[in-house]
């Protein structure tokens, strides 16, 4: 393994070296390489292009620092018998960029390389390019925030690569980032402060999902600070802090790559879909028995006017979040909860102005009507009995009437024409 310089020393060191010893020599030596490699038609024996555009190289971050070809292609150092006949060694970027390199080696991209010399996962040049590398803050760089998704998606968005490597994930999911709130902010509004791949997954050291999952609320909180703070106050967040893996974290409600704002009808936290998101856990039998969560919440909601109206497309009516809150959901026993008995009138009052104390009196998620609202149960039964009796009576009367009518008309016909029946 070649000797590695610490990255932070490498930069000043190299820049000091250049003016000192090789001002003339570099130009000459690079010129020597470009004598052949600046030819667009230059190919290897197997037909791969060996072309290196000298001007584009000069504009790259390394070219601007006037690095020589052999600074990277170190196996050519001291070589004299040009042209070099053999294929060059793989460039070791770690010679200068030590820290990113060691980060990469512990991430999902670098691990296979280190463990079993599997170089199929992304290496330096796959993301940064090779001869024409630009600084990350150059809008033309492949790792500039607004270009990064496309760079990552060149592998992760490719359906052909989907099952090829462990942990690649589904291409469709990764591509859905482009239409998410984050992707749209980046693409449409040109907002580089929006979250791109590296904002959540990191850049050089990309952790495997098992490690990553636990970090999600904190990672989201990097940008959505106050939301993270709210979340930790609520029942979900405080359990999360205690390491409970059952509670929902950000992605459980908002989705992963395809996160959309709540106003978007496609969003999982849009009023239309909130019920489905909450009930994934709250209607789950095993979770219900584990934590004593009452079941039947969604059904009783869908029975109510709110539920019916929402189902039929009125988005103004109350959904789960309207009453229970969202990031800082608290149990009804918490005096700060929006559904704490004393706060209910105020919560209802958000939509029904001037709602009084009476407005909240009575069970809301009525599950067993006989127990929760005996009056309604009795009325319902009485109506069912009455309606079935009455309609039964109607039908019986009508049937008798029809039969009698038929009999009468037949008799009348017989009287008119007595011969008909006999023949």
Residue 414 binding other proteins, by CB under 8 A:
no
Using alpha carbons, list the distances in angstroms from residue 409 to 215, 243, 320, 404.
Answer: 85, 84, 63, 9
Candidates 44-52, 101-109, 220-228, 285-293; binding stretch for other proteins (CB under 8 A)? 220-228
Asked if 90 touches other proteins (CB under 8 A), the answer is no
Q: Is 323 left (phi over 0), alpha (psi -120 to 50) or beta?
A: alpha
Of 191, 232, 235, 281, the one binding other proteins by CB under 8 A = 191
Among 368, 387, 410, 413, binds other proteins (CB under 8 A): 387
User: Which class for 143: exposed (0-12), middle (13-18), buried (19 or more C-beta within 10 A)?
Assistant: buried
By C-alpha distance, which of 76, 58, 66 is closest to 20? 66
Q: Nearest distance from residue 334's CB to other proteins, in Å? A: 21
Residues 362-381, interacting with other proteins (CB under 8 A): 362-363, 366, 373, 375-376, 379-380
Cα distance between residue 239 and residue 247, in whole Å = 7
Binder of other proteins out of 13, 17, 27, 403 (CB under 8 A) = 403
Rounded Cα distance between 160 and 367, Å, is 49
Q: Does 230 bind other proteins (CB under 8 A)?
A: yes
d(C-alpha 272, C-alpha 383), whole Å: 33
Q: Would you count residue 352 as binding other proteins (CB under 8 A)?
A: yes
Kindly indicate which of the ranges 10-18, 102-110, 192-200, 335-343 contains the residues binding other proteins, using the contact rule CB under 8 A. Answer: 192-200
Q: Please, what is the Cα angle at 107 between 119 and 229, to 5 degrees?
A: 155
Biggest alpha carbon–alpha carbon distance for the chain: 135
CB of 208 to other proteins, least distance (A): 27
* Closest CB to other proteins among residues 288, 343: 343
Note whether 187 binds other proteins by CB under 8 A: yes
When the beta carbons of 14 and 59 are compared against other proteins, the nearer one is: 59
**Residue 386 interacts with other proteins (CB under 8 A)?**
yes
| CB-nearer residue toward other proteins: 23 or 385 | 385
- Among 90, 409, 413, 421, the residue binding other proteins under the rule CB under 8 A is 409
The residue (of 116 and 188) whose beta carbon lies closer to other proteins is 188
CA–CA distances in Å: residue 149 to residues 120, 160, 218: 19, 18, 22
- Residue 78 interacts with other proteins (CB under 8 A)? no
Q: Which one, 63 or 349, has the nearer CB to other proteins?
A: 349
Question: Which member of 113, 153, 192, 232 binds other proteins (CB under 8 A)?
Answer: 192
Q: Are 263 and 270 in contact (CB under 8 A)?
A: yes
The residues, any chain, with a CB within 8 Å of residue 143's CB and separated by 6 or more, are 127, 128, 136, 151, 198, 203
| Token output for 208 | 């495997």
Nearest to 81 by CA among 41, 32, 25: 32
- Considering the rule CB under 8 A, would residue 193 count as an interface residue with other proteins? yes
Please name the residue that has the structure tokens 């599997």.
118
Cβ 212 vs Cβ 309: under 8 Å? no
Among 213, 290, 383, 413, binds other proteins (CB under 8 A): 383
Q: Does 228 bind other proteins (CB under 8 A)?
A: yes
Question: How far is CA 288 from each of CA 20, 41, 253, 302, 330, rounded to the nearest angstrom?
Answer: 73, 69, 18, 19, 17
CA 163 to CA 179: how far, in whole Å?
Answer: 23
Lay out the site mask for other proteins across 247-266 (x = CB under 8 A, - = otherwise).
--------------x-----
Tell me how far, at minimum, the Cβ of 331 lies from other proteins, in Å.
22
Binding site residues, other proteins, CB under 8 A:
139, 146, 186-187, 189-194, 222-230, 261, 305, 308-309, 311-314, 316, 352-356, 358-363, 366, 373, 375-376, 379-380, 383-384, 386-387, 390-391, 394-395, 397-398, 400-405, 407, 409
């Amino acid at each position: 393994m070649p000797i590695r310089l610490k990255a932070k020393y490498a930069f000043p060191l190299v820049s000091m070296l250049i003016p000192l010893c090789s001002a003339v020599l570099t130009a000459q030596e690079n010129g020597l390489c470009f004598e052949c490699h600046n030819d667009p038609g230059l190919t290897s024996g197997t037909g791969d292009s060996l072309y290196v555009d000298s001007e584009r190289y000069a504009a790259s971050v390394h070219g601007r620092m006037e690095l020589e070809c052999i600074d990277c292609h170190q196996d050519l150092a001291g070589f004299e018998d040009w042209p070099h006949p053999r294929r060059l060694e793989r460039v070791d970027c770690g010679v200068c960029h030590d820290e990113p390199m060691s980060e990469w080696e512990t991430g999902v991209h670098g691990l296979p390389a280190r463990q079993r010399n599997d170089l199929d996962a992304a290496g330096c040049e796959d993301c940064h390019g090779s001869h024409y590398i630009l600084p990350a803050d150059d809008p033309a760089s492949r790792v500039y925030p607004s270009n990064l998704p496309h760079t990552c998606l060149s592998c992760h968005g490719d359906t052909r690569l989907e099952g090829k490597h462990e942990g690649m994930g589904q291409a469709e999911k990764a591509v859905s980032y482009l239409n998410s709130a984050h992707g749209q902010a980046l693409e449409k509004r040109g907002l580089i402060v929006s979250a791109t791949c590296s904002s959540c997954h990191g850049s050089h050291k990309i952790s495997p999902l098992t490690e990553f999952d636990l970090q999600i609320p904190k990672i989201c909180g990097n940008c959505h600070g106050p939301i993270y703070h709210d979340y930790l106050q609520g029942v979900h967040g405080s359990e999360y802090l205690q390491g409970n893996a059952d509670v929902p974290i950000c992605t459980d409600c908002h989705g992963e790559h395809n996160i959309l704002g709540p106003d978007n009808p496609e969003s999982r936290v849009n009023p239309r879909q909130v019920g489905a998101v909450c009930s994934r856990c709250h209607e789950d039998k095993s979770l219900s028995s584990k934590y004593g969560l009452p079941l039947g919440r969604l059904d009783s909601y869908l029975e109510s006017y709110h539920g019916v109206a929402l189902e039929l497309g009125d988005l103004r009516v109350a959904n789960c979040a309207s009453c229970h809150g969202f990031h800082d959901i608290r149990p009804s026993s918490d005096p700060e909860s929006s559904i704490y008995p004393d706060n209910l009138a105020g919560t209802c009052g958000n939509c029904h102005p001037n709602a009084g104390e009476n407005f909240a009196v009575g069970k809301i998620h009525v599950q067993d009507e006989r127990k929760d609202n005996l009056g309604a149960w009795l009325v319902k039964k009485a109506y069912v009995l009455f309606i079935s009796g009455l309609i039964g009576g109607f039908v019986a009367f009508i049937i008798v009437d029809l039969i009698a009518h038929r009999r009468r008309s037949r008799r009348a016909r017989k009287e008119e024409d007595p011969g008909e029946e006999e023949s």
